[in-house]
Chains A and B, each alone.
Chain A
């Protein structure tokens, strides 16, 4: 089901004011604290209720979606595996901060999600245009 300009299908210009976009900002590394896991559960909950979520990974948060996470020896829930299921919840607007990737010597094809890399200006613009922001 391809929407045209807006991520909410059928939305017109007038509706843009009523649209409820939720930006979820993920800045923490996975596994060190439980924040990444808790954030994911919030994201999935919103997905279930059909809220339009824009996921933003920046700073150490980009480590949450790095491919190759193996939790076998640590008896932890594999975050990357759970992230891969986001598509099913219609959460496909995933953004990642290009500068954060570059600083950590990561490339976009090392990520398990299809994310759009944004530069600082675009990232700031995205966050400034959300209806609500949740920061993890």
Chain B
């Protein structure tokens, strides 16, 4: 598809062709070719999906290979009954356990596949992903 590849091509005309897969993009612009590594993002959300649009807006940017991490008020997203629960089914999701317990939600039904972790795990996760994007 021909288009000006944002962030790399300054021509702002339809001059770029891109091809590639999830981990590597090849962009050819006016016969010059560069490889752009596609990064894996860890998205952190600290707002409740019941009252805040942070998670909804995050899911627009979310791509295959990314993961979600919920902490603070974001842990409410772990609840099976939250409005966006369906959209989280196929995505790697992590939640800070101490935030869940603090809010008294430890006996609630959580989204299947939600992995409860602690802060040292959070640090380890953030080193495993290339970039971290905070949604608040």
Q: Is the CB of B6 within 8 A of A7?
A: no
Whether the pair B6, A118 counts as a contact (CB closer than 8 A) is yes
Contact B133 A122 (CB under 8 A): no
Task: Report the contact-size class of chain B (Cβ under 8 Å from the partner).
Answer: 20 to 34
Query: Is the Cβ of A116 less than 8 Å from the Cβ of B34?
Result: no
Among B53, B61, B63, chain A packs the most CB atoms within 10 A around the CB of: B61
**A124–B30 contact, CB under 8 A?**
no
In the assembled complex, A29 has its CB within 8 A of some CB on chain B: no
- Closest residue to B53 on the A side, CB-wise? A59
B35 to chain A, nearest CB (A): 6
Which residues of chain A are near B27, meaning CB under 8 Å?
5
Contact between B61 and A127, CB atoms less than 8 A apart: yes
Query: Measured between alpha carbons, how far is A3 from B12 in the docked complex, in Å?
Result: 13
Q: Give the one of B8, B32, B36, B40 with max A CB within 10 A.
A: B8
- Bound together, the chains give a CA A4 to CA B62 distance in angstroms of 30
Q: Which of A5, A118, A133 contacts B131 (CB 8 A)?
A: A133
Q: How far is the CA of A2 from the CA of B34 in the complex (A)?
A: 18
Q: Find chain A residues with CB under 8 A from B3 CB.
A: 122
Q: Which residues of B contact A12 (CB under 8 A)?
A: 34
B8 touches A135 (CB 8 A): no
* Stretch of A13-21, A80-88, A104-112 lying at the B interface: A13-21
Please judge, given known A-B contacts A99-B60, A123-B61, A132-B131, whether A3 and B35 are in contact too, CB under 8 Å. Answer: no
Question: How many angstroms between the C-alpha atoms of A123 and B58 in the bound complex?
Answer: 12
Q: Which A residues from 81 to 136 make CB contacts under 8 A with B?
A: 93, 95, 99, 116, 118, 120, 122-130, 132-133, 135
Q: How far is the CA of A58 from the CA of B36 in the complex (A)?
A: 23
Decide yes or no whether B132 CB sits under 8 A from chain A. Answer: yes
Query: What string of 1s and 0s marks CB contacts (under 8 Å) between B48-82 and chain A?
Result: 00000100010011110000000000000000000
Contact B60–A124 (Cβ < 8 Å): yes
- A residues whose Cβ falls under 8 Å from a Cβ of B: 2-7, 12-13, 16-17, 21, 23, 25, 27, 54, 58-59, 93, 95, 99, 116, 118, 120, 122-130, 132-133, 135
